[in-house]
């Protein structure tokens, strides 16, 4: 039986702090008129202390799970698309997995510039269609303002921070992610690059002084590439799905520049109203821009059953990609109640307790091992066993890194799985119970 991958949940999160063009005009030689005429950006959200790629992505993920009415316990895969991860390693996705309490999910980060969310959705959908997994969480999260040169008016006024997420589910109902196309041309890699911080230019006083750890962009070349890439990717993804351009109800493009979007719409022969634009309120949020925009159109009621939606992006690499979605997912009928939110909050608190327990258990095991084998023996071989052979002593227990099964495998997950045995014309209905998600400040996350 054929399997399909449907988007069943969506959510976003943006920082509280907002910087307008007038705010920027006090920092660099620019003006509101100059910025708007060249990019279309009016304001953008900027991460403050305590906000990061992880915190924004985690909140977006919780919102998406709430809409999907799905417990993190059922997630099989988590992908975080980002070019501004929490750390070089571990993967931000692994940190999200831990704080969600998604104890059975694999997790990894994906770096494909502003095309990252498209790449991640394509990979996740194919994984679900293959039958390997049932549920996947895809997050696009960025804090690009932490990578900007705040003295370069050509780039600093363009970018913003934020996160968006979707939950995908496998089903035998036709539709969902119908087709996708991905592309790359590394010969243009230096058009959009952060030169410092990698193995080519590791961090030194010189790289910091030269601002090599900040975004560098050849705007003219990126503009020419972007208009061609969006046109080509949109046409190709429609051809793969045997869908005429005229039958596409909505295009959600990467929000990089208003002129790029207008040029792509003109090249495709589609009315500007087909393209959803929120660039003026968020700026370029890289891998987060498409999921944030998708959340807005879904919450606004602009998407209906059987609609064809094209998600298309381009970015550093150079990369580009597009996904065509045939929407078949029913929208949630009612908001979750207070007691359901309380249940969600308790689940996430359990996840934090579980994480602390696992860390404590590892520390205790490490301490016991070092005490029994002489960690500071001074034998010079660095293995801590005092024999000078350079080989570390065996661990006392192969399960020392694993918390008790009662925590990692709760006997009663927060939600029951949707029933997959349904009529072909309908998607599996959401379970009767909500997913875990905490009460959130409406000023932080727009529903």
Distances from the Cα of 122 to the Cα of 128, 160, 329, angstroms: 10, 25, 18
C-alpha span between 56 and 253 (Å, rounded): 21
- The tokens describing 296, both together, are 């807005």
Strand order in the sheet with 319-326: 176-184, 319-326, 308-315, 250-253
Nearest CA to 44 out of 250, 282, 225, 292 is that of 282
Whether 284 sits among the annotated catalytic residues: the reply is yes
Exposed/middle/buried for 158, CB within 10 Å: 0-12, 13-18, 19+? buried
Alpha helices in 216-337 (DSSP H): 219-240, 258-268, 279-282, 289-299
Exposure string of 136-155, with b = 16+ CB inside 10 Å and e = fewer, is bbbbbbbbbbebbbeeebeb
C-alpha span between 275 and 230 (Å, rounded): 12
Distances from the Cα of 394 to the Cα of 270, 350, 377, angstroms: 65, 32, 16
Vertex 8: Cα angle to 2 and 9 (nearest 5): 155
Q: Which of 63, 284, 295, 344 is catalytic?
A: 284
Q: Which of 254, 257, 308, 344 is catalytic?
A: 254
Q: To which H or E segment does residue 206 belong?
A: helix 205-209
Q: To which H or E segment does residue 355 belong?
A: helix 338-373
Q: Which of 13, 114, 156, 238 is catalytic?
A: 114
Catalytic annotation, residues: 114, 254, 284
């Amino acid at each position: 039986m054929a399997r399909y991958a449907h988007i069943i949940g969506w959510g976003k999160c943006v920082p509280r702090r907002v910087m307008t063009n007038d705010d920027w005009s006090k920092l660099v030689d620019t003006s509101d008129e100059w910025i708007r005429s060249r990019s279309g950006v009016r304001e953008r959200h900027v991460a403050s202390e305590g906000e990061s790629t992880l915190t924004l992505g985690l909140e977006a993920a919780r919102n998406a799970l709430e809409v999907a009415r799905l417990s993190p316990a059922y997630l099989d895969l988590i992908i975080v698309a980002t070019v501004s991860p929490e750390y070089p390693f571990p993967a931000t996705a692994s940190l999200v997995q831990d704080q969600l309490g998604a104890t059975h999910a694999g997790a990894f980060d994906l770096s494909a510039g502003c095309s990252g969310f498209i790449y991640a959705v394509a990979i996740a959908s194919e994984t679900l269609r293959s039958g390997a997994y049932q549920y996947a969480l895809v997050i696009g999260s960025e804090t690009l303002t932490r990578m900007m040169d705040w003295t370069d008016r050509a780039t600093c006024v363009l970018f913003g921070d934020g996160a968006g997420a979707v939950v995908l589910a496998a089903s035998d109902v036709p539709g969902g992610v119908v087709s996708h196309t991905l592309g790359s041309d590394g010969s243009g890699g230096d058009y959009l690059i952060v030169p410092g911080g990698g193995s080519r230019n590791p961090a030194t006083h010189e790289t910091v002084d030269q601002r090599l750890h900040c975004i560098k962009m050849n705007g003219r070349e990126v503009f020419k590439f972007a208009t061609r890439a969006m046109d080509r990717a949109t046409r190709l993804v429609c051809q793969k799905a045997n869908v005429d351009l005229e039958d596409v109800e909505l295009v959600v493009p990467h929000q990089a520049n208003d002129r790029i979007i207008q040029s792509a719409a003109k090249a495709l022969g589609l009315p500007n109203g087909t393209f959803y634009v929120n660039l003026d309120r968020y700026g370029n949020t890289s891998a987060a821009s498409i999921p944030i925009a998708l959340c807005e159109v879904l919450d606004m009621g602009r998407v209906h059953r059987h609609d064809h939606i094209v998600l298309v992006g381009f970015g550093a690499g150079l990369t580009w990609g597009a996904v065509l979605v045939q929407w078949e997912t029913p929208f949630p009928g009612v908001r979750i109640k207070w007691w359901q939110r309380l249940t969600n909050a308790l689940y996430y608190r359990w996840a934090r307790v579980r994480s602390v327990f696992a860390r404590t258990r590892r520390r205790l095991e490490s301490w016991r091992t070092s005490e029994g084998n002489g960690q500071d023996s001074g034998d010079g071989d660095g293995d801590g066993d005092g024999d000078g052979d350079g080989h570390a002593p065996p661990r006392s227990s192969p399960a020392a890194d694993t918390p008790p099964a009662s925590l990692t495998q709760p006997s009663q997950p927060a939600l029951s799985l949707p029933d997959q045995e349904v009529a072909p014309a309908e998607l599996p209905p959401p379970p009767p119970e909500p997913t875990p998600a905490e009460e959130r400040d409406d000023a932080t996350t727009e529903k």
